[in-house]
Amino acid sequence: MSGSRTVKLAISTLVLGLAFSALLYSSLAEDTQYYKHVDEVMTQPAGWYGKRLQLHGHASDIRRKPDSLDYRFDVSYNGQLVRATYSGIVPDTFKDGSEVVIKGTLGPHGFVVERDGVMAKCPSKYEPSAPGVGPGVGRPARPVPAPAQSAGN
């Protein structure tokens, strides 16, 4: 291979590598979100202001403005608490004490939840039932009907 051809190949590879890196960085930087528990963020909240977050904790003191879909509630975890505001439809499982993950940004006046940013977990689906409780436990099995016999047999 000649020297000029090697230089052209090296420059082309460098340019393509830089272009790919810039594209990757710009696309990831726009949608980066941190997943944190409330206590991890609220120990030093100013460091998280303006960053997109997913906060995990337990909802409490849920209040809805009359005749609107505007909510104000607290989310806590390990003794730390953040006040959150949201405008929109919430899941049916969103109640006081429910485990939630909220998406949005933290500011000096609390956490502003983005559109469709409230996810409430349903604890009954994921917790094992107590021994001896559940479908089929403690009840006799239903008899299976015998197949009908024809009159000619």
Is the domain of 18 the same as that of 89?
no
Residue 142 has pLDDT above 70, yes or no: no
**Cα–Cα nearest to 31, from 53, 15, 16:** 53
pTM check: above 0.95: no
| 12 & 61 share domain | no
Residue 123 confidence class, pLDDT cut points 50, 70, 90: low
Write the DSSP assignment of 8-77 as a string of letters: HHHHHHHHHHHHHHHHHHHHHHHT--EEEEHHHHHTSGGGGBTSEEEEEEEEEEEEE-TTS-EEEEEEEE
On whether both 39 and 105 belong to a single domain, the answer is yes
Is residue 81 in a domain? yes
Residues 49 and 14 reside in one and the same domain: no
pLDDT in tens, 44-95: 999 899 889 999 999 999 999 999 999 999 999 999 999 999 999 999 899 9
Number of domains in the chain: 2
State the residue range of the domain holding 94. 33-126
Q: Which two tokens stand for residue 87?
A: 């405008």
